[in-house]
Amino acid sequence: MQYKTFVFSPFQENTYVLFDESNECIVIDAGNFFPKENEQLDTFFKDHNLKFTHILNTHNHLDHIFGSRYLVDKYGVKVACHEKELPWIDNFKSTCQGYGLNIEADAPKPEILLSDGEIFKFGTTELKVILVPGHSAGGLAFYNEKEGLLFCGDILFQGSIGRTDLPGGNHELLISGIKEKLLILPDETKVFSGHGAETTIGEEKRNNPFLK
């Protein structure tokens, strides 16, 4: 499996395209906001001859789903998330207004609800779904064991953790979930967060001040 990272929107959110030798691909957290960002994804899909099938949402905060409507309308892909993230879909436009953003289109409703521990498959690739609430009520991480890659949204960052002061946030749940479900992964596992640089499980076990 291969991946490509894009940094999108004024929120500087990391959007990931995952693809493998089957030429199928998925997007994790479609944060594309500006027309030029839509074009970047379109060009990448075309240049790599990719068949785009799904959007996986680690969670449904606005900056992680800005681009879902564009991609669903253009490519007919299905959106997947945890059921506890559905209220953010319903309140997408009002949440955007709270940030001074006038968004005309609703966010697309997910067709697939993911559960903790299940395996999501595309092409020849398998991703384990790991539920870690605390930043949001239904926050998910996606783990590719074969390649040692973890895509965790805003659950865990290099030297930090996700904020817990938004609706559905819970600091204790977030800390316990990270320790019990993510830090048990091999130290060499690469961690790809919703914002900022990549890190590893080992680095965060050793150096993250929030996890001591």
Question: Which tokens go with 112?
Answer: 């697939």
Average the pLDDT over 91-116 and give the result: 95
Length of the chain: 212
DSSP 200: E
What mean pLDDT comes out for the span 40-68?
Answer: 98
| % pLDDT > 90, the chain | 99
The number of folded domains in the chain is 1
Amino acid in position 207? N
Q: Which of 88, 63, 113 is nearest to 167 (CA)?
A: 88
Confidence of residue 36 (pLDDT cuts 50, 70, 90): very high
Q: What is the mean pLDDT of residues 57-79?
A: 98
Residue 193 pLDDT: 98
Structure tokens, 110:
């997910």
Predicted pLDDT at 144: 98
Q: Give the pLDDT confidence score for residue 159 in this predicted structure.
A: 98
pLDDT at 50: 98
Q: What is the pLDDT of residue 79?
A: 98
CB neighbour list of residue 201: distance below 8 Å, 6 or more residues apart: 150, 182, 183, 185, 186, 187, 188, 189, 191
pTM score of the predicted model: 0.98
Q: What order do you get walking across the sheet with 199-200 strand by strand? A: 119-122, 125-131, 140-144, 149-153, 190-193, 199-200
| CA–CA separation, 51 and 77 (whole Å) | 10
Instruction: Report whether 78 contacts 53 (CB < 8 A).
Output: yes
* DSSP code, position 185: S
For residue 58, what pLDDT band results from cuts at 50, 70 and 90?
A: very high
pLDDT of residue 143: 99
CA separation for the pair 201, 111 (Å, rounded): 31
Looking at residue 45, what is its pLDDT?
98
Mean pLDDT of the chain: 97
Which tokens sit at 200? 């590893």
Q: How confident is the model at residue 53 (pLDDT cuts 50, 70, 90)?
A: very high
Domain that residue 172 falls in: 2-211
Q: What is the mean pLDDT of residues 72-79?
A: 98
CATH number of the structural domain spanning residue 42: 3.60.15.10
